[in-house]
Amino acid sequence: MSEEVPSESEEVPPGGKYEVLEDLPGVGPATAKRLREMGFHTVEALATATIRELEPAGIGEKKASEIIRAVRSSMALPFIRVDELMRMRQSISRLTTGSKAIDELLGGGLETQTITEFYGEYGSGKSQVCHQLCVTVQLPPERGGLGGGALYVDTENTFRVERILQMAEHLGLDPQEVVRNIIFAEAYTSDHQIFLVENADEVVKENNIRLIIVDSLISHFRSEYLGREVLAERQQRINKHMHKLIRLARAFNAVAVVTNQVMAKPDVFFGEASSPTGGHIVAHTSHTRVQLRKARRGPVRIASLVSSPYLPEGERVFKVTENGVEDVTEEEEPRRR
- Evaluate whether residue 79 is within a structural domain: no
Range of the domain at 197: 88-336
Return the percentage of the chain with pLDDT > 70, whole number.
90
- Write down which residue in 73, 96, 114 finishes a domain: 73
Q: Which of 49-53, 115-119, 143-147, 248-252 has the lowest mean pLDDT?
A: 49-53
Q: Looking at residues 309-324, what average pLDDT do you find? A: 95
Residues in the chain: 337
Q: What is the pLDDT of residue 71?
A: 83
Q: Looking at residues 77-94, what average pLDDT do you find? A: 79
The band of 212, judged by pLDDT with boundaries at 50, 70 and 90, is very high
Residue with the larger pLDDT of the pair 226 and 149: 149
| Nearest-angstrom CA–CA distance, 158 and 43 | 33
Do 184 and 320 fall into the same domain? yes
* Residue 274 DSSP one-character state: E
The band of 207, judged by pLDDT with boundaries at 50, 70 and 90, is very high
Do 69 and 92 fall into the same domain? no
Q: What is the pLDDT of residue 14?
A: 47
Where residue 265 sits, what CATH number does that domain have? 3.40.50.300
* Residue 152 DSSP one-character state: E
- Evaluate whether residue 82 is within a structural domain: no
Q: How many CA atoms lie within 13 A of 144 on its CB side?
A: 19
Q: Looking at residues 140-163, what average pLDDT do you find? A: 97
pLDDT in tens, 114-129: 999 999 999 999 999 9
Which of 68, 69, 42, 93 is closest to 253 using CA atoms?
Answer: 93
Do 216 and 294 fall into the same domain? yes
Measuring CA to CA, how many Å separate 166 from each of 126, 169, 200?
Answer: 17, 5, 27
| Nearest-angstrom CA–CA distance, 91 and 96 | 16
DSSP lists the bridge partners of residue 256 as 115, 212
Do 156 and 304 fall into the same domain? yes
Do 98 and 240 fall into the same domain? yes
Do 262 and 173 fall into the same domain? yes
Q: What is the pLDDT of residue 172?
A: 97
Q: What is the pLDDT of residue 265?
A: 60
- Evaluate whether residue 175 is within a structural domain: yes
- Write down which residue in 25, 50, 73 finishes a domain: 73
- Evaluate whether residue 4 is within a structural domain: no
Do 147 and 277 fall into the same domain? yes
- Evaluate whether residue 122 is within a structural domain: yes
Do 57 and 173 fall into the same domain? no
Q: Which of 7-21, 28-42, 79-93, 237-251 has the lowest mean pLDDT?
A: 7-21
- Write down which residue in 46, 73, 100 finishes a domain: 73
Q: What is the pLDDT of residue 167?
A: 98
Whether the pLDDT of residue 270 is over 90: the answer is no
Do 50 and 168 fall into the same domain? no
Where residue 59 sits, what CATH number does that domain have? 1.10.150.20
The band of 310, judged by pLDDT with boundaries at 50, 70 and 90, is very high
- Evaluate whether residue 237 is within a structural domain: yes
Do 120 and 149 fall into the same domain? yes
Do 141 and 186 fall into the same domain? yes
State how beta strands 209-215 and 324-326 pair. Answer: unpaired
- Evaluate whether residue 81 is within a structural domain: no
- Evaluate whether residue 56 is within a structural domain: yes
Do 39 and 151 fall into the same domain? no
Q: Looking at residues 245-266, what average pLDDT do you find? A: 89
**What's the longest Cα–Cα distance across the chain?**
75
| Count: domains in the chain | 2
| Nearest-angstrom CA–CA distance, 144 and 96 | 5
